[in-house]
Amino acid sequence: MSLSLSRSLPRALLRRSYGTVQAPPSAASLIANRIPPALQEATAATAPRTNWSREEVQQIYETPLNQLTYAAAAVHRRFHDPAAIQMCTLMNIKTGGCSEDCSYCAQSSRYSTGLKATKMSPVDEVLKAARIAKDNGSTRFCMGAAWRDMRGRKTSLKNIKEMVSGVRAMGMEVCVTLGMIDENQAKELKDAGLTAYNHNLDTSREFYPSIITTRSYDERLQTLSHVRDAGINVCSGGILGLGEADSDRIGLIHTVANLPSHPESFPVNALVPIKGTPLGDRKMIPFDKLLRTIATARIVLPATIVRLAAGRISLSEEQQVACFMAGANAVFTGEKMLTTDCNGWDEDREMFERWGFYPMRSFEKEGSTQPQPAVEAAPVAHDSASAAPAAASS
């Protein structure tokens, strides 16, 4: 029977030989092969770097969003407690009447927004507001004044220094945003106990002139230099939804990432359109763009606090949590955020409890640039099995 079977089979089949069966590549290997080189390097980093190329930032920003947020969560867990969120309260201590032409701002005297200009708030009124913020769980108190710079404002500076010292005496971090300041003014604020100075770059250098013409990009960078040289923490970020392109969000992060040292905090604002301003009819930026920017900032600025700032009130709770999971770890909370509505303390406390977050302590991140030793290198670039990132990050 075997003889007749062999005679009936084609000779080519009888001569065929077979090699060993190759095991299919692991899922982790396939994923790693699709990760851009810049992202692979960034997720393995153990310290911040200040020599990013624009192409590297673009590679990270353009990574598929599911991979990008996963990588951001891994980096976040290496450098931060993923459950801790800094609660900040922002008070407008001098409203309106600003001479600048920022196209998004209700406080510019050039636009008819219905906002009434006021004089600077009294020191005791500001300190009372700071105590209320502290009693409600905020650990950083921020004060903003609507003017171009501090030239000729000696009395105002004296009062602001008294506010700064008073807030610090409560055990809170204190931040101010006062427009452009020089070296001497920065030193005076430092001596008064100022923790951080906010001066946003807003957008990329290329897109900036279409939004603001009364202050140059280099003037903003010069203010950041004065702040940094005085030993004050730099707080500088941007506004999304101004009409910018992806390349401008990439450019903003690239500029900030190549400062002499990374800012202590990077606010990510979603434009809140104000009727009467040139951008009053714009729609809020799509959420995926906001989330992509936060995740990229977290990866490129690993030790920096990424603050989910203006526009948060328009996000659902689930969208806010997605931002926390992708690396945002600070919020503005309280009664008001300059001239726009803000998420309240009670609302935020309830959200934190539902999702397992807790308020970051005052000065918890001060001087902390080293990664947490217990967290392994980013799992996205390795073959070994690794657990999915836990919920939340601040």
Q: Which residues are annotated as a binding site?
A: 98, 102, 105, 142, 175, 235, 307
175 is a catalytic site residue: yes
Active-site annotation holder among 77, 292, 307, 312: 307
Q: Which residue stretches of the chain are H helix?
A: 2-8, 11-14, 27-33, 37-43, 54-61, 65-79, 123-135, 154-169, 183-192, 217-229, 246-257, 287-300, 317-325, 345-355
Q: Which two tokens stand for residue 117?
A: 């200009």
Distance CA 240, CA 315 (A): 14
Q: Are the CB atoms for 267 and 309 separated by under 8 Å? A: yes
Active-site annotation holder among 235, 292, 323, 342: 235
Active-site annotation holder among 88, 142, 323, 342: 142
The binding site for [4Fe-4S] cluster comprises 98, 102, 105
Q: Are the CB atoms for 196 and 235 separated by under 8 Å? A: yes
102 is a catalytic site residue: yes
Active-site annotation holder among 78, 88, 105, 312: 105
The binding site for [2Fe-2S] cluster comprises 142, 175, 235, 307
Angle between helix 54-61 and helix 287-300 axes, rounded to 10 deg: 130
307 is a catalytic site residue: yes
Active-site annotation holder among 88, 102, 323, 342: 102
> Whose CA is closest to 90, among 309, 365, 269?
309
98 is a catalytic site residue: yes
DSSP 96: S
Q: Which two tokens stand for residue 313?
A: 């009130």
Active-site annotation holder among 77, 78, 88, 175: 175
Q: Which residues pair with 341 in a beta bridge?
A: 336
Active-site annotation holder among 98, 168, 215, 342: 98
- Count the neighbouring beta carbons within 10 Å of the beta carbon of residue 91: 21
Distance CA 144, CA 91 (A): 6
Annotated catalytic residues are 98, 102, 105, 142, 175, 235, 307
